[in-house]
Chain A
Amino acid sequence: MKNFSGGWDRVVAFMGALVVVTYLIQVLGGRLHAATSIIAILITLMSLAWVFSGQRPGPWSLRPIIACLVILLVAGASHLILPATTTESAVLLSDVTAVTDGNELVVRGTIDHLGVAHGVPLAVTAGKVSLANAFILRTVRTFSIIIKLENQDPCVVGVRVRAAHQTPVGPLSCQSSSR
Chain B
Amino acid sequence: MDANLEALLTASPEEVRFNWIQFAGTLSASTFLIALSMSLAANGPSSLQFLVFWIGVLLGFAGIAYQLINRANTPRAYREILVVLGVWGLLPRLLRGGLSPLFFDEFDHLRLAQDLSATGHAVSLDHLFQLGASFPGLELLTSTTAFVSTLSIWHSGLLVVALSHVLGIIGVFTLVGEHRSDARQGAFAALFYACNPSWLYFHAQFSYETLALPLLVWLLVLTDRWRRDGASLGTVGGFLFIAAALPIVHHATSAIAVAILVIWLVASMCTDLFGQDHRISRGTWRVSLASVLTAILVIGRLLLVGSKLWTYWSPALNVGSIGTSLRRLVGGGGGGRSLFGGAHLPWWELGAGFLLVPILLFILARALMQGRGSTDRTDGLELTFWVLALAFFVTLPLDLLASLSEAVHRSWGFSFLGLSAVAASVVTPFLRRPGRWRLLTAAAVFSVIAIAGTSVGISTNYQFPGPVEAGVDGRSIGSQTTLVAGWFASHSSSRDHVFVDRFVSRQIAVTSRADVMIPWQLWQMAYAPSLQLSTLATLARLHVDYMVFDRRMTTIFPPAGFWYSPSEPAIFSNSLVPAFNLDRYICYDWSRVVATTADYEIVAVDLHQVVADLRVGSMGIHPQCQHFSVVK
Q: List residues of chain A with CB under 8 Å of any chain B CB.
A: 1-6, 8-20, 22-23, 26, 30-33, 36-37, 39-40, 43, 58-59, 61, 63-64, 66-68, 70-72, 74-75, 78-79, 81-86, 88-95, 112-115, 158, 163, 165-171
Contacts and interface: CB of A to CB of B under 8 A. Distances in A.
Given A11-B167, A85-B465, 20 more contacts: A13-B237, A18-B140, A26-B140, A32-B140, A58-B76, A71-B24, A75-B35, A75-B94, A81-B35, A84-B38, A84-B42, A84-B96, A84-B98, A85-B98, A88-B479, A90-B483, A93-B596, A93-B597, A114-B483, A163-B598
Most chain B CB neighbours (cut-off 10 Å) among A17, A30, A37, A67: A67
Interface string B15-47: 000101001100110011011101101110000
Interface string B122-143: 1000000000000011001101
A94 B546 CA distance: 14
B35 A79 contact: yes
Contacts of B98: 79, 84-85
A73 to B, nearest CB: 9
A6 B229 contact: no
25 contacts: A12-B215, A13-B238, A19-B141, A19-B249, A23-B140, A26-B140, A32-B117, A36-B143, A40-B148, A59-B83, A61-B80, A63-B18, A64-B83, A68-B88, A78-B34, A79-B35, A82-B35, A84-B41, A85-B42, A92-B596, A93-B596, A114-B479, A167-B598, A170-B586, A171-B586
Contacts of A22: 140-141, 143-144
B597 A91 contact: yes
A16 to B, nearest CB: 4
Most chain B CB neighbours (cut-off 10 Å) among A2, A31, A40: A2
Contacts of B122: 26
B222 to A, nearest CB: 7
A50 to B, nearest CB: 14
Contacts of B174: 4-5, 8-9
B147 interface: yes
Contacts of A68: 83-84, 87-88
Contacts of A1: 225, 229
Interface stretch (B175-183, B311-319, B359-367): B175-183
A170 B583 CA distance: 10
A115 B35 contact: no
A55 to B, nearest CB: 13
Given A3-B178, A40-B147, A72-B87, A82 B167 contact: no
Given A4-B183, A6-B75, A68-B87, A89 B28 contact: no
A61 B170 CA distance: 14
Given A22-B144, A78-B31, A167 B596 contact: yes
Contacts of B601: 167
Contacts of A37: 147
Given A19-B141, A112-B483, A67 B39 contact: no
Contact of A64 (B80, B97, B551): B80
Given A20-B248, A78-B35, A90-B597, A36 B144 contact: yes
Contacts of A18: 140-141, 144
